[in-house]
Structure 1
Amino acid sequence: MAEGEKIIKINIEEEMKSAYIDYSMSVIVSRALPDVRDGFKPVHRRVLFGMSELGVTASKPYKKSARIVGEVLGKYHPHGDSSVYFAMVRMAQDWSLRYPLVDGQGNFGSVDGDSPAAMRYTEARLNKIAEETLVDIDKRTVDFQLNFDDSLKEPTVLPTRIPNLLVNGASGIAVGMATNMPPHNLTEIINATVAYIENPEIDIDGLCEYVKAPDFPTGGIIYGYKGVRDAFETGRGKVVVRAKAEVETDSNGREKIVISEIPYLVNKAELIIKIADLVNDKKIEGISNVNDESDRRGMRIVVDLKRDAIANVVLNNLYKFTALQSSFSVNNIALVKGRPELLNLKGMISNFVEHRHDVVVRRTQYELEQAEKRAHILEGLIIASDNIDEVIKIIRAASNPEEARNNLIERFKLSDIQARAIVEMRLRQLTGLEQDKLRNEFDELVKEIAHLKDILSNESLRMEIITEELVEIKAKYGDERKTEIVYSSEEFNPEDFYADDEMIITISHLGYIKRTPLAEFRTQSRGGVGSKGSTTRDQDFIEHIYPATMHNTMLFFTKKGRCFWLKVYEIPEGAKSTKGRAIQNLLNIEGDDQVKAFIKVKKLNEEDYVNSNYIVMGTKKGIIKKSLLADYSRPRVNGVNAITIKEDDELIQARLTNGETEILMATRSGRAIRFNETNIRTIGRTGQGVRGISIDTEVDEVVGMICVNNIQEEDALVVSENGFGKRSKIEDYRITNRGGKGVKTMKITEKTGALISIKNVTDEHDLMIINKSGITIRLAMSELRTMGRATQGVKVINLKKTDQIASVARVPAYKEEVATETEEDQVEGSEGTPEIPTEE
C-alpha cells in the first residue's frame, strides 16, 4: 500500500445496492428508454446528429457506414461499434421502421432475418424525413451537454418536427421495466395532434376519430379492436395482428393460400420453417408444399393445398399454430422530464406539442436576438451612409482603426459594434443602390422584429405556427395506411358496412356457391346455366336459386347434423358466367362431412320471425325433427349441432316451414308416408327427433323428404334408379300418423329398380337427371302427365343396360328466349334463361 493510503471498510450489501441503483438509473435514462419529446434513445439521437455534423444529408453522396460509425463512436457514443452500426441499420430497414430515417445503400439485412453486410461494405446518408428531426438545431432550440470526454457538445434532445415516438414507435428493455411502442400512420397522428392543439380538452374518443390504430410497416391486419382501445386509453394493451392471406385457384383447379403481408417483427424464413415443421409433425393437415416466391415486387408466400383440403380450415390452423397471427403487447413507457412514465395516446401527443412549443419559443427568441443585432448594425451603417463624406474624413484622419472607431463613436453616438461595422464597410456599399438595400433590409427587419415579439407574447400564434409546420410535414411525407383493421363482431355490426342490395344466390349441384347482383339478371337478355361463358364443371349445373338481400343469412346443414351460417355478403360475388367457390372452403366443416341442405332466412334478429318459423329435418333412417328457427339464430364460426345423428344414420334434408305444411317421406322400397307437420312436437336443437316413417329392412332407407305448402298446386314426383318416374297428386297419398310404414308410392320391380328420389314439383320446374356414367339430361315437368299413386310409372330416361340414375335435382324451368341470338352466342343444350323465383 502506498504511503498515505488507507483501507476504508464498507458494508458490501450497501455498496451492491448503491452500485446497482446507479447502474439501473443509467440504463433507464441513458440507454433503453426513448425520450417522449423526440422519441429517440441516446444512440439513435447521436447517430442522426453525427451524420448531420458529418454532412451526410439526403442531398449529398453516400458515405461509408464505417466512416459514420467512427464519427459517432469517437465523438459521442463510447460503446461497441456494433451498437452504433446496428442502430443505424435498423433506422434504414423499411420493415423495421414505418418511416425509415436512414437511406442505406448495400446489404442492410432482410425480413428473413439475414444479417446486414459489415460496415466496411455498406454506405448510408440521412433520409429527407430525418432532416426534419434536426431542423433549427443550430438556433439554440434545444439544450446541449458535454460529451463523454468534455471535448464536444451534443444535444440532449432533437428539435424534431415529426412526432417520431408515435410514428416509428420504440422498444427497449431497461432494469425493472420495458417499453414496446407500436408505429402509427403519420397522417393520422398529425391530424390528431392538430385536433389536440385546437382543443386541448379533447378526450381519447375524440383522438380515436383521427388515429384509427397502429400502422405497421409490414402491413397485415389488426384483428379486433379491444387491445387497440386499451392501449390508447391506458398505454397498455394487446394488439392482435394477422397476416394478409387470400385463397387462389390454379389452372388445375387446386387451391392455394397466398400470403402477401405478415405481422410486424415476424421473421419470414422462420415462419416458413415453422409451417413446414407443423406439416411434417402432422399438426396441420392439408398442406402439400410451401414456397417463398417473394421478389422485388413484394412478399408472396404460397401454401399449396391438397385436393381434399379445406382452405378456410387450413388457414385458421396456420393462424392458431404459427406467427401468421401474433400479438403486439403495447407498453408505452417513455422518459418524461428524465423520469420513466406510462403514457396513453393523449399523453404522448400533449408532451410532443409541449416540446414543439418550447422549440418554437426558443427559436423565436434566437431569431429575435439575431434580428435585433443585425438591425442595430444596419442603424449604424445607415447613419454612416447619410454622413458618408464626414465618415470618410474621420477614418482617413485616424492613424489606426481603433482611433477611427473611437472618433466615430464620439461623433455620431454609436456603439462599438456599429463603429466596427462602419470601419469594416466595403467601398461598394457606398453606391446608391447598396444604400437603398440597407434601408430596405432595415425596414424588413423592423417588421420581422415586431412579428417575432408578437409570437413571443401570443400563445395562440405560436400554436398556429406549430399547426402550420405539422400540416406541411403531412403534405410532404403523409401516406395511406398499410395495416388494415378488422373490427370484431361483438364491437361492430358488419352489416353496417354493406348496403342491403338485392342479390341472387346460386348453388350448383356439385356444391359451388356465389352471389350475383339482381341488376345483372335484369339488364342482360341472356345468361344463366348453359349460356356462353359459363365455367361450371362437366356434369355440374345450377340446382338452387334464391333471391336474397345482402343482410339475409344462408343456413347450411351437413349430413352429420351440423348447422353453419353465412351472411349473404360473406358469400363470394361472381358474374353469371363464373363458377363460384366450393361451399366446403367457406365453412369450417370436417373433411368427411358434406352439406346436404340449404335454407335462406331473412332476419335472425327479428324475434317474431324466428319464433314463428320452424326447421324440419329428415334422416336416412326415417327420423324427423322439428325445431324453432330461434334455436338456430345465434351463429357460431364452427357451427352447432342441429340434430343428434346416430352412427349409421345421416341427415338428408332440412326445410324452413311455417308450422302447417304437409310432409312426405319416401323410401327406397317405394313406400311413402304423408302427415301434417302439426303431428311433430317441437324439440330443442340437440334433440334426436322422432320416427317419421318405419323402415322394415336394414337395406331400406329414406331417399327424400318434401314439405308442401299448397297441395292443390304442387305434385309429388318420384324417380327410380332404372329411369322410371311418376308424377302424382299429393291428395293421392292419404294422411296418416307419423311413424307408420306409409303407402305404396311406386310399384318397385326388378325392371324399375329402387326408388332414389322424391321431389315436389309444378309445371314451372325442370328435372335434372345425372346418370352414373356421367350423362346429364334435362326434363321439363310440363311434359310429364300426372298418374295414379300405385302405378309403375313411365320411362323418363332411356338408360344403357349397365347404367343407372345417380341423382335427381329439381331446378327452375327455362323460359323462352326473347332476344335474338347470334350463332356464336348459342350453346348446345341452352334454350333460355332460368326463372328467378320471387321473394316469398
Structure 2
Amino acid sequence: MSSDIPQSNPNTAADIEAVRIEDEMEQSYIDYAMSVIAGRALPDVRDGLKPVHRRILYAMHEEGVTSGSGHRKSSSVVGDTMGDYHPHGDSAIYDALARMAQDFSLRAPLVDGQGNFGSVDGDPPAAMRYTEARMSPIAEELLADLGKDTVDFQPNYDDRLEEPGVLPSAYPNLLVNGSSGIAVGMSTNVPPHNLGEVIDATIHLIENPDCVVEDLMEYVKGPDFPTGAEIVGREAIHSAYTTGRGRVRMRASYEIEEMGDRERIVITELPYQQNKAKLVEHIADLVNDGTLEGVSDLRDESDRDGIRIVVELKRGALTDVVENQLLEHCLEKTFGVINLALVDGEPQVLDLKELLSHYLDHRREVVRRRSQHDLDEAEERAHILEGRLTALSNADDVVERIQEAADRDAAKAALREAYDFSERQADHIVRMQLGSLTALEAEEIEAEYEDVEAEIERLETILGSDAELDRVITEELREVQDEYADDRRTRIVEDYGTVTREDLIPDEEVIVVMTENDYIKRMPASEFDAQGRGGKGIIGTKLKDGDRVSAVFRANTHDYLLSFTNQGYVYRLKVYEVPEMGRTARGKSAINLVDLDDGEDITAVVATDDLGEEECLTMVTREGYVKRTCATDFENIHSNGLIATRLEEGDELVDVEVTDDDGDLLIATQQGMAIRFPKDEAREMGRSARGVNGIKLTGDDAVAGLVAASDDTDLLTVTENGYGKRTPMGEYRTQSRYGKGLKDIKTNERNGRVCTVETATADDDLVVMSEGGQIMRTRVGDISTVGRNTMGVTVMDLDAGDHVACVDVLSGSD
C-alpha cells in the first residue's frame, strides 16, 4: 500500500509563488474583461465588424456562398462558422447572421436572406434549419482582395486553420452599418449612416487632411437609419460627431389624412429599433386609460410595402392635441450615440474625423500591400515572358539543345549556359509545348509583356507616391458609391423644443369655479349655451354640505391665473393646471394647487396670458382702500405665494382688476353706492403698501367690487338675490376719490345687497353662478339699460335660500 502513495517533491514548495488573492482576482478579471472587449463585444474601427460577424462572412467566403451562388441553409453556415472559427453557441452565431440579413437593422445588409429573418414587430427569425442565406453583393466588398496579402491572418481557435484578423473593407462599414454591444464596463452604440454621404466625407478627408469635424459634417448630415423617420434637432448630432457621444432624438413620420368630417393620423415610418407591435399596444393602452383622448379607432395596416398605423380621431377631436400627445408618449425615442471601437486592440471613443482617419489608415495599408502583392506577381510574370521571348527569337537553337540533352535537368543547364536564363525561366521553357512557338503565339506574348510592363510601372507609381495611393483609394470608393449608394431615408428636422404639457392642452375658453371650501375645477365655456334672462340655469357644480360657490370666472386654458386671497397674498398657476371636470363634479381641493393657510380664501382672480410693463394690478379692500401696483412686480411668484398688499387689521382684499394708465376707476359697495375717480388719484405703489382711501363707507357698508371705467361701456350691477341692471358708464360723473359717491342701484329686501359689478356691452354674455351651484349664461343685451338708482330686473331665478355667488362677463368675441 505504502508504495502506491505519491512521494512529495522536495522542489514543489520552491515553485509556489505567494500572491494576494485580491491582486489575483483583479488581474484575472481584467484579463477576462479584455477578452470580452476585444474578442466579442466591440467592433474593429477598420472594418466595423465584431469577430462573430467577420467569421461568418469569412466562412461563407471560404465555402463559396457568395452573392453569385445559390442560397445555403443557415444551419450549414452556422455549423461551418462554429466548427472552424467561432467556438461559441450556435444560437449566438445565428442571431448575428440573422441581424446581418435584416433590412430594418442594417443600412446595408451584409447577408442576403431567404425565409423569415424576423420583423419590426419583434418576431424572432425562424429556426436556422428553415432559412437560407448567402452573402450580399456589398458584403463581398468587405472581403475583396482578401487573397492578396492585404491583411494579416491568425490561427483559428484550434490551430488547424487561419482566419483574417480584419477584413480589407472597401468602404467605412462601421459608420455605414453601425454597431451596438455591451462589454465589461463599457458599451458601444454607433448609428448607421448613408453610404454615399460617408464616402463623400472620406474622400474630402483624403483631399483635405487638415479639415475639422464641422467640415466633414457638410457631407455626413447625421445618422441615416434603415427605418427612415426623423431626427429632431442638430445639436446632439454635432455632439456625437465632435465628442463621440450624444443623445439623438428620433421621431416617427406621420401624415394627417382627411376622412369626411373627421381626420386620422397615419404613422408611416418608425424610429430605429422601435417595436411596431408594442407601439400599437402602447397607443391602445393610452386610449383605454384616458391619457390619449379623441381616438375612435386604431389599426395596423402595415404590409410588405411599408408601415401604416392608422389612428382615427373622433368627430370634433382636436388633431393638434392628439398629435402632441402621441409625440409625448409614443412617437419619439432617443438613440444614445457612443462611438466606441477597437483601435489597435484598445477601446477608444472616437469623433467623426478619427473614425474616418483610422479607416483610411487601414485602407492605405490594404492598397499598399495589395499593390506590392500584384507587383511581385507582375514582375514574376515579366521575368517568365522575357525568357519566352528570348526562346522564341532562338527557337531552332533552343529546340536543338533540348533534343540533345540527356534529360530535363541537362536541358535546363544547357539553356542557362547558352542564354543566361534563370532557373525559373529555364524550367518554364523546357515545359513549353511546341505549339507555343508559332508566330501568332509570339505576337501574343509580346503584347502580354507590354501590358505587364505597364502594370509594373503603374504599381511602382502607386507604391512610390502617397498621392497616387490616395487617388486609387478615392477611385475605388467612387466605384462602391456608384454601385451601392442610395438616397437618405432619415430626415433631419429643426428642434422647436420638447413637447410640453402646455402643447398637449387645447387652446379654449373655459369657466373656472371655486367654492368657499376651496374646491376648484374648470369646464369648457362651450358647454353653457346662452339662455333668456330670468332663467334658472343648469347645474354647474356639485357641492358638499355646508359649502358654497365663492368665485366663477372666464379664462383661457393657456392663461396664467393670479389668485388673490382675502389675506392679501397672490398665487400663480396655469389655467390648464386646474383639473377639467364635468358640470356635476365637485372639483378638486385647491390646496393641491395653491398652498393656502387656514382661514385664507381666494376672493379675486385675474386671468391673463402676459402682463405688460404699462399695465397695473389695481386692488380694492373691503374697507375701501385702493392701490395700483405695476404688473411687473408680480412676474416671479413663488409656490408659497407673494404679498400683494398690506391690510389693516380686520380688512380683507375684495377685488383686483388689470388696468392701464388711461381712464378712471369705479368702486361699488354692497349697499348700492358707486364712486368714479381718475386712476392717477390712486398712484402706483409697491406690493407691501396699504393703498389710499377710495370711498367713504357709511354704517356697515362694504366694498363689493372694482372696475376700470370707460364711457363706451355699461356698468353691469348684479345683486345677491339675482337682480341686476346695466347703466351707461357716462351717467357716473367723475369725482375726487374718497367721497361717498352716487347711488347706483336700490338695495332692498327684493334685490338684496350688491354682489359685484362688471363692465360690459350688449354683445357680451353674462355668466352668473349661485352659491348653490346653479350656473346660467345669458346675453347682456337681454338686460335692460336703465338709469342709476333703479331696481333692475330679474337676471337669474334663484331657489329659495340661494344667492348669487359671483358673475363674469364673456366678451362678444369669445
Q: Where do residues 786-797 of structure 1 align in structure 2 (5 Å cutoff)? A: none
Match of 2:475 among 457, 468, 472: 468
Q: How many residues align?
A: 700
Match of 1:357 among 325, 347, 364: 364
What residue is the counterpart of 2:72 in the other structure?
Answer: 63
Could you list the per-position Cα deviations for residues 491-523 of structure 1 after superposition, in whole angstroms to 9, with x for gaps in the alignment? Answer: xxxxxxxxxxxxxxxx99899xxxxxxxxxxxx
What residue is the counterpart of 1:131 in the other structure?
Answer: 140
> CA 1:248–1:666 in structure 2 vs 1: closer, same or farther (change >3 Å)?
farther
What residue is the counterpart of 1:179 in the other structure?
Answer: 187
Asked whether the equivalents of residues 238 and 330 of structure 1 are also in contact (C-alpha less than 8 Å), the reply is yes
Asked whether the equivalents of residues 617 and 631 of structure 2 are also in contact (C-alpha less than 8 Å), the reply is no
> CA 1:732–1:21 in structure 2 vs 1: closer, same or farther (change >3 Å)?
closer
Tell me how far apart the structure 2 counterparts of residues 623 and 244 of structure 1 sit (CA, whole Å): 58
Q: CA deviation at 1:130?
A: 1.7
Report the 3-state secondary structure (helix = DSSP H, G, I; strand = E; otherwise coil) of the residue aligned with 1:103.
strand
2:167 paired with 1:158:
yes
**Structure number with larger C-alpha Rg:** 2
Asked whether the equivalents of residues 563 and 572 of structure 2 are also in contact (C-alpha less than 8 Å), the reply is no
What residue is the counterpart of 1:614 in the other structure?
Answer: 615
Report the 3-state secondary structure (helix = DSSP H, G, I; strand = E; otherwise coil) of the residue aligned with 1:109.
coil
> CA 1:381–1:325 in structure 2 vs 1: closer, same or farther (change >3 Å)?
same
Report the 3-state secondary structure (helix = DSSP H, G, I; strand = E; otherwise coil) of the residue aligned with 2:133.
strand
What residue is the counterpart of 1:660 in the other structure?
Answer: 662
Report the 3-state secondary structure (helix = DSSP H, G, I; strand = E; otherwise coil) of the residue aligned with 2:181.
strand
What residue is the counterpart of 2:422 in the other structure?
Answer: 415
Asked whether the equivalents of residues 675 and 742 of structure 2 are also in contact (C-alpha less than 8 Å), the reply is yes
Asked whether the equivalents of residues 36 and 165 of structure 1 are also in contact (C-alpha less than 8 Å), the reply is yes
Match of 2:374 among 367, 375, 378: 367
Could you list the per-position Cα deviations for residues 618-638 of structure 1 after superposition, in whole angstroms to 9, with x for gaps in the alignment? Answer: 99x99999776767999x9xx
State, as a whole percentage, how many aligned pairs show the same letter: 37
Q: CA deviation at 1:120?
A: 0.4
> CA 1:144–1:301 in structure 2 vs 1: closer, same or farther (change >3 Å)?
farther
Q: CA deviation at 1:215?
A: 4.2
Report the 3-state secondary structure (helix = DSSP H, G, I; strand = E; otherwise coil) of the residue aligned with 1:373.
helix
Tell me how far apart the structure 1 counterparts of residues 747 and 609 of structure 2 sit (CA, whole Å): 32
Point out where structure 1 has 5 or more consecutive residues left out of the alignment.
Answer: 491-506, 512-536, 541-553, 566-583, 602-609, 646-650, 780-785, 795-805, 813-840
One-letter identity of the residue aligned with 1:38: D
Asked whether the equivalents of residues 663 and 708 of structure 2 are also in contact (C-alpha less than 8 Å), the reply is no
Q: CA deviation at 1:52?
A: 2.1
> CA 1:399–1:115 in structure 2 vs 1: closer, same or farther (change >3 Å)?
same
Tell me how far apart the structure 1 counterparts of residues 446 and 461 of structure 2 sit (CA, whole Å): 23
Asked whether the equivalents of residues 732 and 742 of structure 2 are also in contact (C-alpha less than 8 Å), the reply is no
Asked whether the equivalents of residues 255 and 311 of structure 1 are also in contact (C-alpha less than 8 Å), the reply is no
Asked whether the equivalents of residues 704 and 757 of structure 2 are also in contact (C-alpha less than 8 Å), the reply is no
One-letter identity of the residue aligned with 1:477: A
Match of 2:154 among 145, 169, 174: 145
Tell me how far apart the structure 2 counterparts of residues 303 and 617 of structure 1 sit (CA, whole Å): 49
2:684 paired with 1:681:
yes
Q: CA deviation at 1:25?
A: 3.5
Report the 3-state secondary structure (helix = DSSP H, G, I; strand = E; otherwise coil) of the residue aligned with 2:157.
coil
> CA 1:26–1:509 in structure 2 vs 1: closer, same or farther (change >3 Å)?
closer
Tell me how far apart the structure 2 counterparts of residues 642 and 256 of structure 1 sit (CA, whole Å): 46
TM-score (norm 2): 0.65
Match of 1:443 among 433, 438, 450: 450
Report the 3-state secondary structure (helix = DSSP H, G, I; strand = E; otherwise coil) of the residue aligned with 1:87.
helix
What residue is the counterpart of 2:91 in the other structure?
Answer: 82
Q: CA deviation at 1:73?
A: 1.6
Q: CA deviation at 1:203?
A: 3.8
Q: Where do residues 387-786 of structure 1 align in structure 2 (5 Å cutoff)? A: 387-392=394-399, 394=401, 402-425=409-432, 435-475=442-482, 476-482=484-490, 484=492, 486-487=494-495, 556-557=559-560, 590-591=579-580, 612-614=613-615, 659-660=661-662, 678=680, 679=682, 681=684, 734=734
One-letter identity of the residue aligned with 1:159: P
Tell me how far apart the structure 1 counterparts of residues 655 and 428 of structure 2 sit (CA, whole Å): 104
> CA 1:350–1:768 in structure 2 vs 1: closer, same or farther (change >3 Å)?
same
Tell me how far apart the structure 2 counterparts of residues 348 and 739 of structure 1 sit (CA, whole Å): 83
Asked whether the equivalents of residues 732 and 788 of structure 1 are also in contact (C-alpha less than 8 Å), the reply is no
Q: CA deviation at 1:88?
A: 0.6
Tell me how far apart the structure 1 counterparts of residues 94 and 425 of structure 2 sit (CA, whole Å): 50
Could you list the per-position Cα deviations for residues 7-65 of structure 1 after superposition, in whole angstroms to 9, with x for gaps in the alignment? Answer: 95757977964655544443232222222211211111001111222222233332211
Asked whether the equivalents of residues 663 and 706 of structure 1 are also in contact (C-alpha less than 8 Å), the reply is yes
Report the 3-state secondary structure (helix = DSSP H, G, I; strand = E; otherwise coil) of the residue aligned with 2:46.
coil
What residue is the counterpart of 1:333 in the other structure?
Answer: 340
What residue is the counterpart of 1:801 in the other structure?
Answer: none
What residue is the counterpart of 1:293 in the other structure?
Answer: 300
Tell me how far apart the structure 1 counterparts of residues 299 and 689 of structure 2 sit (CA, whole Å): 49
Report the 3-state secondary structure (helix = DSSP H, G, I; strand = E; otherwise coil) of the residue aligned with 1:91.
helix
Q: CA deviation at 1:453?
A: 1.6
One-letter identity of the residue aligned with 2:473: I
Q: Where do residues 199-210 of structure 1 align in structure 2 (5 Å cutoff)? A: 199-210=208-219
Could you list the per-position Cα deviations for residues 229-271 of structure 1 after superposition, in whole angstroms to 9, with x for gaps in the alignment? Answer: 5544444x45153543769688597787765555544444455
Tell me how far apart the structure 1 counterparts of residues 696 and 261 of structure 2 sit (CA, whole Å): 43
Tell me how far apart the structure 1 counterparts of residues 689 and 166 of structure 2 sit (CA, whole Å): 70
Report the 3-state secondary structure (helix = DSSP H, G, I; strand = E; otherwise coil) of the residue aligned with 1:335.
strand
Could you list the per-position Cα deviations for residues 62-115 of structure 1 after superposition, in whole angstroms to 9, with x for gaps in the alignment? Answer: 221111112212221122211211111122223333332222222112233322
Point out where structure 2 has 5 or more consecutive residues left out of the alignment.
Answer: 499-506, 512-525, 530-556, 565-570, 582-586, 588-604, 646-653, 768-775, 794-807
Report the 3-state secondary structure (helix = DSSP H, G, I; strand = E; otherwise coil) of the residue aligned with 2:366.
helix
Tell me how far apart the structure 1 counterparts of residues 690 and 188 of structure 2 sit (CA, whole Å): 53
Q: CA deviation at 1:131?
A: 1.9
Report the 3-state secondary structure (helix = DSSP H, G, I; strand = E; otherwise coil) of the residue aligned with 1:139.
coil
